[in-house]
Structure 1
Amino acid sequence: MKTFTLDEAQSLLPVVESLLKRALAGKQDAEQVEEKLSELSRRIYLSGGMKVDVGSVVRQRAEMDVHLERVREMLSEIDSIGVQIKDLDSGLLDFPFKLEDEVVLLCWRLGEQSIEHWHTVESGFKGRKPVDDRFRRGKTSGNRPN
C-alpha cells in the first residue's frame, strides 16, 4: 500500500478533487437518465402498455452507460494514485500515512480547504482527530509503495 506524507497528500488535493467532482457529475448525469427511464417504465405500466420510441430508449441507456463509465474511470484514477475513496456521495477520501509503526488515514472531504484530520483504520470517519505536529515532521519520510 502506498503511503503519503502530509505534504504529498496536500499537493494531490487539486488533482483528486477534480477527479472526484467529475465522478460526482457523471453519477448525477447517470441518475437523471435513469430517472427518465424509470418514469417511462411507470407510465407504460400505469397505462397498460403504450407505443415507445425504442431508438430513444436505446440512446438513453447508451448515454447512461457513458456516464457510468466516466464515473468508473475517475474513481479508478483516484484509486491508482493510492487514495482511498470512502464515500463518493459525500466526497470522502483517505490518504494512507505511516505514523510511527502504524498506518493511519489522513482524512479529507470535498469542500475542505486542506487535510486537517486523521483517523485510525478501525475508527473510521467518526474517529477523526485534528492533524498534529507528528504529521508535519516527516516532510520526506520515505513513505513509498510497498
Structure 2
Amino acid sequence: MDRLFTPDEARALLPGILEEAREIVAARADLAEIAFDREAAGVSRLGGLPEIKAIEARIQETLSRWTDQGIEVKGVAPLLIDFPAVLDGVSVRLCWIEGERELAWYHRTYLGFPG
C-alpha cells in the first residue's frame, strides 16, 4: 500500500522540502541562463552540456528522494507536490505549490491541479 501522511507528518517534512525547493528553483534559473546564453552567444559563463546534465541530475535526485518517501511530484515548474492522506474517511491529497510557506490546502484525490 502507498504511504499515507497525516497533516502533522506532512508538515514535519515541509522545512526540508522548502530548502530543497529553493535549490531546485535556483537550478532551474541556472538552466534557463545557460540555455539563453548558449542561444544568444553560443557559450555561457555557467558552462555547457556537462553542467546542464549535472544540474538536471541534481534536480532529479531531489525529486526521486521525495517520491521515495511517498510524496507525489505533480509539477516541476512550478513545483507542485501532494502528500496522500485520508481525512474523515476520504482519500485526499495534502498539497503544496512553489511559493507557499506552509501546507494549507488539500483536495480529493481525483481533483486538484493536473499533474
Tell me the TM-score range normalised by the shorter chain.
0.7 to 0.9
**Distance in structure 2 (CA, Å) of the matches to 1:100 and 1:90:** 30
CA distance in 1 between partners of 2:27 and 2:100 (Å):
21
Deviation at 1:111, TM superposition (A): 3.0
Question: How far apart are residue 113 of structure 1 and its match?
Answer: 3.0
Going by fraction, where is strand more abundant, 1 or 2? 2
1:102 maps to amino acid: V
Identical positions, percent: 29
Give the direction of change, closer, same or farther, for the CA distance of 1:61–1:113 in structure 2 (3 Å limit).
closer
Bigger RCO (CA 8 Å, 6+ sep): 1
Any conservation in 2 of the 1:10–1:115 contact (CA below 8 Å)?
yes
Q: TM-score, normalised by structure 2?
A: 0.81
Which residue identity does 2:37 align to in structure 1? K
Out of 103, 121, 137, the position equivalent to 2:109 is 121
Structure with bigger helix share is: 1
The CA RMSD measured in Å over matched residues stands at 2.3
For residues 21-56 of structure 1, give each alpha carbon's deviation from its aligned partner in whole angstroms, at most 9, with x where no partner exists: 212221221221122222246xxxxxxxxxxx9xx8
Q: Distance in 2 between matches of 1:22 and 1:82?
A: 20
Task: Determine the C-alpha separation between the residues in 2 that align with 1:65 and 1:19.
Answer: 18
Give ranges in structure 2 of 5+ residues lacking alignment.
Answer: none
Which whole-Å CA distance do the structure 1 matches of 2:113 and 2:104 have between them? Answer: 13
Counterpart of 2:15?
A: 14
Residue 85 of structure 1 aligns to a residue whose secondary structure is strand
AA aligned opposite 1:77: R
The one-letter amino acid paired with 2:84 is P
Q: Which has the larger radius of gyration?
A: 1
1:105 Cα deviation (Å)?
0.2
In 1, are the aligned partners of 2:93 and 2:109 still within 8 Å (CA)? Answer: yes
User: Could you say which residue in structure 2 is the equivalent of 1:35?
Assistant: 36
The match for 1:89 is: 77
Please tell me the residue identity of whatever aligns with 2:27.
G
Runs of 4+ in 1 over 6 A off after TM superposition: none
